[in-house]
């Protein structure tokens, strides 16, 4: 019985962590934006290493007027991502995410570019452990996160439609919590998160002024069905970003950004504490998107875990 519970726990923590990675792949809407939901250890593991490759294609732009406009040019990104999370004391953990992006665009200002996107790190604290099984009480991990604008942003390039754009261009500090729960064949996950962007001043051909992006919020709910070594998962995440206010030469007050991402994933647990996940994410299915670009993504990830 104990081994079955342990197995379920391992399988769930494997797939749940993968869910976060999946949401990252589709989290980038317009202009290298989006937030970074971290890899968090939710099971009895000491360390988790995840590599993933996602292909994301922009399909539609939605204006602040709510009008959907199909893009005529092809805008495709391959994002290779390396995530590592490690427990460093009884309840604390640390994680880092390193994304690399290759982006190809067609059209008048199209081209191809590759480089580092925004890297992120987080420190997590297990504030709601599940040492004794309870039917309803979830397992909870809180975290603080930092996103470092290592990718080129729309404010750094001469042409904002350039494929060089791979990041948001702003530092952000976030706080959030991950709640997980499993019941025999089923599991559930909830993530809530808020982040604050730090103002940044740019001075180049396009922009002489300060970018103030305010705050953003995100949430995710997901359900999974486990059978044998497989897990079928579904999740929806919602992201809200405050209007981006520009002060200086070309000032503007901006408009809020909002979109939702639906994800379906299939995971398989393999020997040696490894697992593989394939997922499909679509930003055109859910929510009431506004002022954003909507993408579809396919992701494959490979994960290796080390037990405590």
Contact residues: another protein, CB under 8 A: 30-31, 60-61, 63-73, 107-109, 154-155, 158-161, 183-186, 203, 205-209, 211, 221, 223, 225, 234, 236, 243-246, 248-250, 252-255, 257, 260, 262, 284-289, 291, 293
**What CA dihedral angle connects 300, 197, 177 and 266, to 10 degrees?**
-10
Q: Which is nearer to another protein, 72 or 228 (CB)?
A: 72
Instruction: Yes or no: say if 305 and 277 are a contact pair by the CB < 8 Å rule.
Output: no
Least distance between another protein and beta carbon 290 (Å):
9
Least distance between another protein and beta carbon 31 (Å):
7
Least distance between another protein and beta carbon 45 (Å):
25
Instruction: Yes or no: say if 92 and 69 are a contact pair by the CB < 8 Å rule.
Output: no
Least distance between another protein and beta carbon 261 (Å):
11
Instruction: Yes or no: say if 113 and 91 are a contact pair by the CB < 8 Å rule.
Output: no
**CA dist., res. 211 & res. 198, Å (int):** 9
Least distance between another protein and beta carbon 108 (Å):
6
Q: Which is nearer to another protein, 234 or 274 (CB)?
A: 234
Q: Which is nearer to another protein, 175 or 232 (CB)?
A: 232
**CA dist., res. 1 & res. 3, Å (int):** 5
Least distance between another protein and beta carbon 227 (Å):
11
Q: Which is nearer to another protein, 24 or 30 (CB)?
A: 30
**What CA dihedral angle connects 285, 192, 25 and 105, to 10 degrees?**
70
Q: Which is nearer to another protein, 73 or 307 (CB)?
A: 73
CA 207 vs CA 33, 162, 290: distances in Å: 18, 15, 24
DSSP code, position 130:
-
- Radius of gyration over every alpha carbon of the chain, rounded to an integer in angstroms: 19
Least distance between another protein and beta carbon 252 (Å):
4
Q: Which is nearer to another protein, 16 or 41 (CB)?
A: 16
Q: Which is nearer to another protein, 22 or 291 (CB)?
A: 291
Instruction: Yes or no: say if 166 and 149 are a contact pair by the CB < 8 Å rule.
Output: no
Q: What are phi and psi of 11, to 5 degrees?
A: -60, -45
Instruction: Yes or no: say if 280 and 249 are a contact pair by the CB < 8 Å rule.
Output: no
């Amino acid at each position: 019985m104990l081994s079955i519970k342990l197995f379920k726990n391992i399988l769930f923590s494997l797939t749940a962590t993968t869910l976060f990675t999946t949401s990252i792949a589709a989290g980038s809407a317009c202009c290298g934006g989006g937030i970074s939901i971290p890899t968090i250890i939710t099971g009895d593991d000491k360390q988790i290493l995840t590599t993933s490759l996602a292909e994301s294609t922009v399909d539609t732009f939605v204006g602040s007027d709510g009008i959907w406009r199909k893009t005529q040019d092809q805008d495709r990104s391959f994002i290779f991502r390396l995530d590592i999370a490690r427990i460093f004391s009884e309840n604390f953990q640390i994680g880092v995410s390193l994304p690399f992006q290759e982006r190809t665009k067609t059209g008048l200002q199209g081209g191809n570019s590759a480089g580092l996107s925004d890297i992120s790190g987080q420190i997590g604290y297990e504030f709601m452990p599940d040492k004794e099984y309870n039917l309803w009480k979830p397992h909870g991990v809180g975290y603080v996160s930092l996103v470092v604008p290592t990718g080129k942003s729309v404010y750094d390039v001469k042409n904002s439609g350039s494929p060089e754009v791979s990041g948001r261009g702003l530092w952000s500090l976030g706080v959030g919590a991950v709640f997980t729960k499993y019941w025999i064949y089923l599991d559930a996950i909830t993530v809530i998160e808020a982040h604050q962007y730090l103002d940044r001043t740019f001075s180049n051909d396009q922009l002489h002024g300060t970018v103030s992006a305010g705050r953003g919020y995100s949430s995710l709910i997901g359900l999974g069905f486990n059978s044998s070594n497989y897990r079928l998962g579904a999740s929806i995440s919602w992201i809200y970003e405050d209007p981006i206010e520009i002060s200086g030469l070309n000032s503007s007050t901006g408009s809020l950004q909002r979109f939702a991402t639906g994800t379906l994933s299939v995971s398989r647990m393999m020997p040696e504490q490894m697992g593989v996940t394939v997922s499909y994410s679509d930003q055109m299915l859910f929510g009431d998107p506004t002022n954003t670009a909507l993408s579809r993504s396919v992701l494959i990830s490979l994960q290796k875990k080390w037990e405590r």
